[in-house]
Amino acid sequence: MDRMLYVAMSGAKETLIAQGNASNNLANANTTGFLADLNQFRSMPVFGSGHPTRVYAMDERPGTNFDHGSIQYTGRDLDVSVQQGGWLAVQAPDGGEAYSRRGDLRVDENGLLVTGNNLPVMGNGGPIAVPPFEKIDIGVDGTVSIRPLGAGGNELAVIDRIKLVAPQFEQMHKGNDGLFRMIDGGEAEADAAQRLVSGALTASNVNVVNEMVDMIELSRRFELQVKMMKSAEDNSAAAASIVRPV
């Protein structure tokens, strides 16, 4: 009886975790540059002092869907979309370097070029600082140019170049903050061959229909596991009544 109850209980617990992952993917279906998380279930023996006679279900995130999202043209000067396989280097909240495909850039009140979620964009020597300007332009190779205040119409100054990288996907992992980092803890080398599409953004690669289907399936699976726990309780009560003294 305990085996039945344990399997149903662990399955229900892990199903709730999978539902949370699917909900997170759905919540970020319209988040620029978001890459969907993948999930899978597998059986895991319960190891202890004796023979592992108990098995429970475990949900895990084996990886990320690295498919490139569609390109959405906005016409905004500071919107950029990195081409297939490429990433923008940003400064993570912990001060280290991380990688993102979120290209809705802006210049903040401190003069730093940042992403839509306020992460500084990395250049050749660190975060890119932008002097006061009348116009700003980002080239296809990541070069950031400005027309300084009071300058002539054709007078442009190159201030830095966005660090673009293209490491192998198997060398990267996604953190809890949604940013990607190198598995070995190092920094990826800049890739001069990478190109940007100006006036466009990379959309989320979440397939809303698939995620909704997964949510429905997980909900039905959870209901089935709860029924199994109830059946285990009923069977235990019936067994106890048989041996109960009259």
Hey, where are the domains in the chain?
2-65+206-243, 71-202
What backbone torsions phi and psi does residue 171 show, to the nearest 5 degrees? -90, 0
The pLDDT tens digits of the residues spanning 118-168 come to 999 999 889 999 999 888 999 999 999 998 887 777 788 999 999 999 999
* Predicted local distance difference test score (pLDDT) of residue 60: 73
Q: 114, 112, 111: which is closest to 132 by C-alpha?
A: 111
Going by C-beta distance under 8 Å and a sequence separation of 6 or more, which residues neighbour residue 36?
A: 25, 28, 64, 65, 204, 205, 206, 207, 211
For 89, the enclosing helix (H) or strand (E) is strand 87-91
pLDDT above 60: residue 1: no
* Predicted local distance difference test score (pLDDT) of residue 56: 73
State whether residue 160 is helix, strand or coil: strand
> Residue 246: pLDDT band by 50, 70, 90 thresholds?
low
Residue whose tokens read 């390109």: 71
How much of the chain exceeds pLDDT 90, in percent? 60
Q: At what angle do helices 2-27 and 208-243 cross, to 10 degrees?
A: 160
The pLDDT tens digits of the residues spanning 79-112 come to 999 987 899 999 999 999 999 999 999 999 999 9
How much of the chain exceeds pLDDT 70, in percent? 96
What backbone torsions phi and psi does residue 45 show, to the nearest 5 degrees? -65, 150
Q: Is 229 exposed, middle or buried (0-12, 13-18, 19+ CB in 10 A)?
A: middle
* Predicted local distance difference test score (pLDDT) of residue 31: 94
How does the average pLDDT of the chain come out, rounded? 88
Q: Residue 234 corresponds to which tokens in the numbers above?
A: 């009923």
The pLDDT tens digits of the residues spanning 66-80 come to 999 999 999 998 999
For 14, the enclosing helix (H) or strand (E) is helix 2-27
Q: Classify the phi-psi angles of 23: left when phi > 0, otherwise alpha if psi is within -120 to 50, otherwise beta.
A: alpha
* Predicted local distance difference test score (pLDDT) of residue 2: 64
What is the mean pLDDT of the segment spanning 207-235? 88
pLDDT above 80: residue 215: yes
- For residue 197, CA distances in Å to 63, 104, 127, 194, 244 come to 27, 12, 21, 10, 76
Residue whose tokens read 């279906």: 29
Separation of alpha carbons 141 and 242, rounded Å: 79
pLDDT above 90: residue 234: no
pLDDT above 60: residue 237: yes
pLDDT above 60: residue 242: yes
pTM score, two decimals? 0.82
